[in-house]
């Protein structure tokens, strides 16, 4: 029986590993370029938008800016202004990212409906509309139960050949907030840490983990079991499906690779528009940091498309409102 089983497996492998060659004329799949709008708005900044065009796979310049585009801004259905094109990083001629942006003089307010209309010669007009979500304050933050344990993933040896033991510090946090009851709400949670050294101040992000049912809403149990880090291990995306209208305390754990004493952690709670939430979630999945994304990239699962809310074009007009609280860590070695 075993022999028949192994023969069947070998047959399947031979079929899956066989290869063939075929020339494909990519130009026959070329489509008309579309306008791409990428814009994230919040009450903390003036409205800015990157405007480029889609590019065909064989092209060597993925970011083709459209400086002569007409970008009209509307707030609550009223025309406000034509946004102005500005270039930055003028000395950077790489095409790794856009080097220009259209700017306005307007800082949106909570619940403002923002619409951007982009037109350019030779392109279909692109329209995007989004509403700035309400601010959701962090009511309380706290940390406790700092655990020190050996870091078995890193080995340091001094010049004399002595092994220097390294440690990991795990800090448990709790943050409390009040969800709104009338609407479906979308959130992101992330952190950053600052620590002052003799040579200056350093900013960095540490790995975050959670078993909280709300924070782990988008974390598949198979991701960790099969070596995928979920939503990049530095942030959480979640909704109010389980806590609508409730005051809720989120619980998560941060892993530090050095003594956290004296460092300051900033905890950011983002209230996201639904479109922005869906866009970020699709980006995280398609990056292959989840099992679903990896299977899609390999052709073994349903392909994941990057979410877009741009009519007549591509990209995203997202909106968020940010609440932040800072906490200084005090810790004495046991």
Q: Tell me the pLDDT band of 134, cut-offs 50, 70 and 90.
A: very high
Specify the higher pLDDT residue, 30 or 186: 186
Q: What is the pLDDT of residue 75?
A: 98
83-94 tens-digit pLDDT: 999 987 655 555
> How confident is the model over 132-149, as a mean pLDDT?
95
Output the six-digit token pair for 122: 């030779």
> Rounded mean pLDDT of the chain?
83
Spell out where 89-211 has E strands: 100-103, 113-119, 126-131, 138-150, 156-157, 163-164, 167-178, 186-197, 200-204, 207-209
> How confident is the model over 182-203, as a mean pLDDT?
86
314-332 tens-digit pLDDT: 999 999 999 999 999 999 8
Domains in the chain: ranges and CATH = 29-131 (2.60.40), 138-328 (no CATH)
Residue 204 has pLDDT above 90, yes or no: no
Whether the CB-CB separation of 116 and 134 falls below 8 Å is answered with no
**CA 80/CA 116 separation, integer angstroms:** 10
231-286 tens-digit pLDDT: 568 889 999 999 999 999 999 999 998 899 999 999 999 999 999 999 999 888 77
**CA 311/CA 86 separation, integer angstroms:** 24
């Amino acid at each position: 029986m075993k022999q028949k089983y192994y023969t069947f497996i070998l047959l399947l492998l031979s079929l899956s590993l066989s290869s063939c060659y075929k020339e494909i004329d990519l130009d026959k799949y070329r489509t008309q370029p579309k306008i791409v709008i990428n814009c994230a708005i919040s009450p903390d900044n003036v409205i800015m938008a990157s405007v480029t065009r889609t590019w065909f796979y064989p092209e060597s310049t993925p970011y083709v800016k459209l400086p002569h585009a007409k970008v009209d801004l509307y707030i609550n259905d009223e025309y406000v202004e034509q946004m102005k094109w500005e270039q930055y990083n003028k000395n950077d001629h790489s095409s790794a990212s856009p080097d220009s942006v259209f700017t306005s003089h307007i800082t949106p307010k909570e619940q403002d409906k923002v619409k951007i209309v982009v037109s350019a010669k030779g392109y279909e007009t692109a329209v995007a509309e989004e509403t700035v979500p309400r601010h959701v304050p962090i009511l309380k933050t706290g940390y406790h139960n700092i655990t020190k344990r050996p870091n078995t993933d890193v080995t340091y040896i001094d010049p004399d050949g002595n092994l220097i033991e390294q440690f990991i510090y795990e800090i448990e946090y709790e943050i409390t907030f009040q969800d709104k009851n009338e609407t479906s709400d979308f959130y992101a949670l992330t952190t950053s840490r600052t620590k002052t050294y003799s040579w200056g101040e350093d900013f960095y992000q540490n790995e975050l983990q959670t078993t909280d049912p709300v924070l782990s809403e988008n974390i598949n149990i198979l991701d960790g079991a099969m070596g995928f880090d979920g939503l990049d291990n530095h942030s959480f995306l979640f909704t109010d499906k389980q806590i609508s209208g409730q005051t809720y305390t989120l619980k998560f754990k941060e892993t530090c690779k050095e003594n956290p004493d004296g460092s300051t952690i900033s905890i950011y709670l983002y209230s996201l528009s639904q479109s922005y939430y869906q866009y970020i979630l699709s980006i995280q999945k398609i990056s292959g940091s989840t099992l679903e994304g990896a299977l899609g990239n390999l052709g073994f699962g349903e392909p994941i498309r990057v979410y877009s809310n741009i009519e007549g074009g591509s990209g995203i007009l997202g909106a968020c409102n940010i609440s932040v609280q800072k906490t200084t860590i005090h810790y004495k070695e046991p």
